[in-house]
Amino acid sequence: MPDEFTQLFARAPEEVRAAAVRLKVKKGEPILRLHERNRSLYLLLEGEADVYTENRNNYSTTLRTYRAGEFFGEMELFDEERTALAVIAKKDSTLLQLHRDYVLLWMKKDFEFTMAMCRKLCSNDYGGRVSTNGMKPLPLKDRYLYLLYQSMRFGELDELTKADLCTRLGTDIRCVNRIVAGCREEGIARYENRRFHIMDKRKLCALLDERGLL
């Protein structure tokens, strides 16, 4: 629900809206740097931004793409020991930056916003039980299927490319093609006309659940 937060911000207390700083970021420029001490929430008004981290083999790994209407940076606001993942503008982008003090004030005054924030925190899979970035020894096939599931869940499956998979999985196109072909033979997912398609959602979810990824 990308528009939900934009609509909530339009109805936010006046002092909260007045405290938001408008930022313009060019394609390829960092919004947040890896391991930065972040104390702000960011709302993406226009453009796109990729979330990166590095795995233990020093691959730069893309975790997901934020689009207009989505927000990020919330994890570090509630855990002083947590540092940021890298967020880099995928396109020329416009954002609003809101300091933690005003985020907390907003939450105190607006229950709807508090619930939206709770839902977002609960959905942050890359910070929780499972890692698809190489920090845990998950088999390549499991990581591939989990990325397909997450892309489907966030409505990004149609935009996922094989190049994206190579970056996110930290491997080359030959390995990706081998995994893709194997999962098609199993009737789980296929790649056709430059698009990924889930062939059997129930089978995909059952496999991920069996691996403890759901």
Which tokens belong to 127? 């910070």
CA distance 187 to 6: 39
Amino acid at 140: L
Q: What are 179-190's pLDDT values in tens digits?
A: 999 999 999 999
141-171 tens-digit pLDDT: 888 898 898 888 878 888 888 887 887 777 7
Q: Work out the pLDDT band at 62, boundaries 50, 70, 90.
A: low
CA 155 centroid distance within chain: 12
C-beta of residue 67 within 8 angstroms of C-beta of residue 124: no
| Residue whose entry in the numeric block shows the structure tokens 């691996």 | 211
